[in-house]
Structure 1
Amino acid sequence: MKDMPEGFLLSSGGSDAFEALATAELVPADAENKLHHKKLYLVLDLDETLVYSKRMEDPMATPAGHKIFVRGQPFDMVLRPGLQHFLRMAVSNYIVFLYTMGDEDYTRAVLRIIDPESNFFRGGICCWRQSESRHHKSLTRVVCDRRMALIVDDSIDVWSEDLSNLCLTRRFVGDKLDDGLQLLCGQLFGLHREFFANAPSEGWSYEAAASGTLRAAPRVQSVLHTQRGQLLAGCTIALTGVVTDQKEDTLEQQPLCVLIKHYGGELTLSVDAATHLVARRKEGWQKSPKINRALQRQQAGATGFYVVWDHWLLDTLATWQKQNEESYAVRLDDERGDSPPPTSLFSQQLEGVAKAITADVENLETVSDLVPPRKRLREEGVAFEQVVTH
């Protein structure tokens, strides 16, 4: 990998005082510059969003993806299908940051494969540092204006401070048929287009807006809220095995629950008051009091009530399309199968977006050529809270 360009900070260390100063002095001016050039900020997670890595027990084995070495230890790193196309697409409309819980050695090893010429992550790279928890991320570490910043991550819990900026993606676990980046291409393209859709001829400006002009740029949080819609409106959701704290006074503070409310849903601790019981499959799940009570409700003829695995919720949040509950239904004799494919309407929307994106960016292949149009297989025990740490 060639030398990182000036201003390209691989931040495994650094002082909080410096970051505060940089934010105060650099962010407003940089935001104005990006608005002038019709760019937004994009913060990308690494593990299980862009790549899937695992330690190789047998160093002589043939890797499924790329063999990388971290402090002499071999790892098998599988790239998410369509990764290079996605990154080229991203930099056409966004200033891209990489934000990972991996340490500097691991991050550099990955970058030698996915960005050897340092073309993509021009905003900067934030990797784990010893002074911080591995279970928390914040936009305060990224030198950007929050009003213009989108986050892509497979984990919800780590972004508790910035959930209104989060564009959730399905967890990537190495499936060669995964279409997550194809989906994200369409979502990010649409968000960028909508953000700048009504800009005046002289462009958006936060500074000019403060002086009383009509050039006030929208907030990306509002654009994201509008684009994904109130998918869960009318849904009152009870959870079992999905979040750790289910006390009445703290339930709605859980990051997943906050995101549910962003999508228009409501929450309850009572199965009898719910329209949906969302369950996570764990050992002994057949004996869960909530699951059994929910199935009793269904057997008694309750209408408009569903008992679903947590993948129904994850896929709904990630695709911006409310999924068919029947495909995720919990049954006592259940043997989990594949996730259902996207609805035909959603597939048509993806195809239309792919054509629009390709026409907008020169010399890029079509999205559909790079990623098969189907979802990844649903895996046992996939958790919203899981964070990979190398």
Structure 2
Amino acid sequence: MLTKLRPFARGFLEKASAMFEMYVCALADEDYERAVVKLLDPDGVYFGDDGERVVSSEELKRRGMKSLVVIPGAEAAAAAVILDDTDTAWPSVHQDNLILVDRYLYFASAACRRFNHSRLESLVEQGRDEGEDDGSLAGVLDALRRVHKVFFDGNCSDVRDAIREVRRQVLHGCTVVFRRSDEGSAVWSLAERFGAVCQVDVSETATHVVAEHPGTQKAQWARDNNKFLVNQDWIKAASFRWCRQGERAFPVLI
């Protein structure tokens, strides 16, 4: 098995450890889990000597999913932030603690799939890699810093409130027009969670139009009225990077 560290992985751990006490919580095979932790933290600086802050996967498997309950000191979910690449591994009671990180799909794999289950080309197939300064971990680190600041510098006593506040700032000021069939959809709800106002009708207050095809009436209206025309991945990318993304990188293509 080949394992590659994500760019900025150790730098991320170094900087995040200055703000948080960190634990590893995974449902993977325990030997594999500890081997990866040893690769990430060979000197036990971030997760303790002998992996003392690595939660046993056997304990989690008995529960059937991940949980903050098995992490010492995290009984109060009001003080715990979760980073994961999937929300389905966590119970509903912990969803407000979760910051999603997009998966690092470096090697070609059948697991490289988009939200709609179509094949996603891996980074190695694209002949590139994430950047140290502008990759996913850098964006998440910035989000953690903002959450930390809101929690400790304000009147916030629950980190879940801090996460919600920081999340809402990401697309604040964006009014996004969707297809009528997308009203209430997952991507619509995602945009709202990150602070956007969503609507199905075009208006002067609209800032963005999300379209699947450049030939639709709404897409043409966006071009005629100097509005941003983007595909749905613009919203998904903002949700993973926790900052508004450049619209030109998400064109609506034929």
Other-structure match for 1:189 = 145
Q: Provide structure 2 residue ranges, at least 5 long, that are not aligned to the other structure.
A: 107-128
Secondary structure of the residue aligned to 1:96 is coil
**Rounded Cα–Cα distance in structure 2 between residues aligned with 1:156 and 1:125:** 18
**What are the equivalent positions in structure 2 for 1:288-307 lying under 5 Å apart?**
291-292=212-213, 295-298=215-218, 300-302=220-222, 303=225
Other-structure match for 2:158 = 219
Matched, 1:329 2:243: no
Residues 290-313 of structure 1, C-alpha deviations (whole Å, 9 max, x = no match): x34x63214643447665334311
The one-letter amino acid of 1:127's match is S
Paired-residue identity, %: 23
1:148 corresponds to which of 75, 79, 82: 79
Aligned pairs, number: 216
Other-structure match for 1:118 = 44
Secondary structure of the residue aligned to 1:152 is strand
**How big is the shift at 1:79?**
0.7
Report the TM-score when normalising by structure 1. 0.46
**Rounded Cα–Cα distance in structure 2 between residues aligned with 1:103 and 1:177:** 29
Structure 1 residues 297 and 80, CA gap change in structure 2 (3 angstroms):
same
Contact 1:295 1:307 (8 Å CA) reproduced: no
The one-letter amino acid of 2:55's match is I
**How big is the shift at 1:96?**
0.6
The one-letter amino acid of 1:295's match is G
The one-letter amino acid of 2:34's match is R
Secondary structure of the residue aligned to 2:18 is helix
Other-structure match for 1:320 = 242
Contact 1:98 1:126 (8 Å CA) reproduced: no
Other-structure match for 1:277 = 210
**How big is the shift at 1:328?**
0.3
**Rounded Cα–Cα distance in structure 2 between residues aligned with 1:192 and 1:165:** 13
**Rounded Cα–Cα distance in structure 2 between residues aligned with 1:317 and 1:227:** 11
The one-letter amino acid of 1:173's match is L
Report the structure, 1 or 2, having the larger helix content.
2
**How big is the shift at 1:193?**
3.1
**Rounded Cα–Cα distance in structure 1 between residues aligned with 2:145 and 2:56:** 24
Secondary structure of the residue aligned to 2:195 is coil
Secondary structure of the residue aligned to 1:81 is coil
Structure 1 residues 258 and 153, CA gap change in structure 2 (3 angstroms):
farther
Matched, 1:172 2:104: yes
Structure 1 residues 265 and 112, CA gap change in structure 2 (3 angstroms):
same
Matched, 1:235 2:197: no
Other-structure match for 2:95 = 163
**Rounded Cα–Cα distance in structure 1 between residues aligned with 2:99 and 2:247:** 22
**Rounded Cα–Cα distance in structure 1 between residues aligned with 2:68 and 2:23:** 11
Residues 111-131 of structure 1, C-alpha deviations (whole Å, 9 max, x = no match): 222223333225442536544
Cα RMSD after superposing both structures = 3.7
**How big is the shift at 1:78?**
0.6
Structure 1 residues 322 and 181, CA gap change in structure 2 (3 angstroms):
closer
**How big is the shift at 1:109?**
1.9
**How big is the shift at 1:141?**
4.1
2:230 corresponds to which of 308, 326, 329: 308
The one-letter amino acid of 1:146's match is A
Matched, 1:83 2:5: no
**Rounded Cα–Cα distance in structure 1 between residues aligned with 2:20 and 2:35:** 24
Structure number with higher relative contact order (C-alpha < 8 Å, ≥ 6 residues apart): 1
Report the TM-score when normalising by structure 2. 0.66
Contact 2:27 2:61 (8 Å CA) reproduced: no
Report the structure, 1 or 2, having the larger strand content.
1
Contact 2:8 2:138 (8 Å CA) reproduced: yes
